[in-house]
Amino acid sequence: MLKRPRRLRGGTLLREMVRETRISPSSLILPLFLKEGKDIHDPIPSLEGHFHLSPDDQVCREVEQALKAGVSRFLLFGLPAHKDPEGSGAYDDQGIVQQGLRVLKDHFGKDIYLVTDICMCEYTSHGHCGILYGQEVDNDPTLERLARIAVSHAQAGADMVAPSDMMDGRVLAIRNALDEAGRTDLPILSYAVKYASSFYGPFRDAAGSAPAFGDRKSYQMDCHNVREALKEALSDVEEGADLLMVKPALSYLDVIRAVKEATNLPLAAYSVSGEYAMIKAAGAAGLVDEHAVMCESAVSIFRAGADILITYFAKELAEAIRKGEIG
């Protein structure tokens, strides 16, 4: 036989040299949940190993641990003390994310990179991602609020903003607002392709963002559709997005591949809370090797075409990369 593929599988050093998919800690982003108050370090029951953190020494200690593991990029979510129908706490300059940004930047400076989630669901009393008109989210009035949130985060120290609301036209509205505020340098990571998924359950518990009525299927995408994903992604490219995202990840690997092939922007994938919780639960039950499944699932997401992975396993993956168990 002239062709023997096993020749390139003969040893660890050879397999690593010819590896097609490579992962670096610099491609990992760790979500953090900020909660108003002081000295808060409360476990999140639905997200084992993750915590609600006050914007003081508590969040700084969590970031220090992540830095030791090799993770220096973070995605910030906020849990406000008070909510209202307008979600006004989201664009309050003294809001929870704004507090966290200032504390973290004062403490760590340029050693960390902070991305902020731009949405209203954590801040509205009804739990939806925008301003309501009756029982429906009113797209266009919501855009002005999203733009205000982005500018407020930028002024507080955000390195990048990531709109996750799925309103039509929000990337352009945010880009224009940032530019008018003199922040032409600030990148936008668009949740371009965000599905109305059943995998978000633990996150909604962690962020206190479950809708009080109805669902989000009128603005998040139908899981049956992939051509629509390309339409959404290409629209956000035209509106000025600097990076794109597909969310969730594991059940949408085909979508990651399709978006990767149709665009030329850096592509992130969000391995969401349900994916994390299932691996943790199966591992705890002795059904799978949690560490091995964590590594393999991360590789699959990068293999599908992701350049960046937002994951609750970021610290563990960075350690695995350092030890040569994945990479």
DSSP structure class, residue 111: G
pLDDT in tens, 42-74: 999 999 999 999 999 999 999 999 999 999 999
- Distance (Å, rounded) from C-alpha 155 to C-alpha 140? 24
Q: Which residues contact 219 (CB under 8 A, 6 or more apart)?
A: 129, 130, 137, 139, 165, 166, 167
- Predicted pLDDT at 91: 95
Whether the predicted pLDDT of 249 surpasses 90: yes
Phi and psi at residue 314, in whole multiples of 5°? -55, -45
Widest pairwise Cα distance in the chain: 71
H-run or E-run covering 193 = strand 189-194
Mean pLDDT lowest for which of 100-109, 113-122, 215-224, 251-260?
Answer: 215-224
Q: Is residue 10 a part of any domain in this protein?
A: no
Task: Look at residue 85 and tell me if it is in a domain.
Answer: yes
Q: 79 falls in which pLDDT band (50, 70, 90)?
A: very high
Q: Indicate whether 4 pLDDT > 80.
A: yes
Which residues are annotated as catalytic?
A: 194, 247
Q: Tell me which residue of 142, 64, 153 sits closest to 101, measured CA to CA.
A: 153
| CA pair distance 65, 108, nearest whole angstrom | 13
C-beta of residue 166 within 8 angstroms of C-beta of residue 139: no
The phi, psi pair for 243, rounded to 5°, reads -140, 155
- Counting every residue written for the chain, the total comes to 327
Do the domain assignments include residue 288?
yes
pLDDT at res. 207 = 59
Whether residue 5 lies inside any domain: the answer is no
Q: What is the pTM of this model?
A: 0.94
**Predicted local confidence at residue 18, as pLDDT:** 86
Of 53, 97, 52, 102, residue with least CA distance to 78: 97
Tell which phi-psi region holds residue 268, choosing left (phi > 0), alpha (psi between -120 and 50) or beta: beta
Range of 52's domain? 24-322
Give CA–CA dist 307/295, Å, rounded: 16
What is the DSSP track for 2-17? ---GGGGGSSHHHHHH
Average pLDDT over the chain, rounded to an integer: 94
Residue 215 has pLDDT above 70, yes or no: no
Say whether pLDDT at 2 is over 70. yes
Model confidence band, residue 208 (pLDDT cutoffs 50, 70, 90)? low
Whether the Cβ atoms of residue 299 and residue 259 lie closer than 8 Å to each other: no
Q: Is 212's pLDDT higher than 70?
A: no
Model confidence over 277-321: pLDDT tens digits? 999 999 999 999 999 999 999 999 999 999 999 999 999 999 999
% pLDDT > 70, the chain? 97
Query: Which residues in 258-271 are b (16+ Cβ under 10 Å) and which e?
Result: bbbeebebebbbbb
**pLDDT number for residue 125:** 83
Q: Has residue 214 got a pLDDT over 60?
A: no
In this prediction, residues 219-240 reach a mean pLDDT of 97
**Is 327 inside a domain boundary?**
no
Q: Report the SS3 class of residue 287.
A: coil
* DSSP annotation of 91: G
DSSP, collapsed to helix, strand or coil, labels residue 115 as: strand
Total structural domains in the chain? 1
Residue 2 lies in a domain: no
CA separation for the pair 94, 96 (Å, rounded): 7
Does some domain include residue 11?
Answer: no
| Residue 136: per-residue pLDDT | 84
284 backbone dihedrals φ, ψ, rounded to 5°: -65, -30
Task: Name the residue among 241, 240, 246 with its Cα closest to residue 261.
Answer: 246
Confidence grade of residue 209 (pLDDT, cut at 50, 70, 90): low
DSSP classification of residue 222: P
∠ CA 155-27-104 to the nearest 5 degrees?
Answer: 35
d(CA 89, CA 102): 16
Residue 203 CB coordination number (10 Å): 23
Residue 58 has a pLDDT of 98
Q: Does residue 12 fall inside a structural domain?
A: no
Residue 230: which CATH number?
Answer: 3.20.20.70
Please determine, for residue 133, whether its predicted confidence score (pLDDT) is greater than 90: no
Highest-confidence segment of 3-12, 125-134, 191-200: 191-200
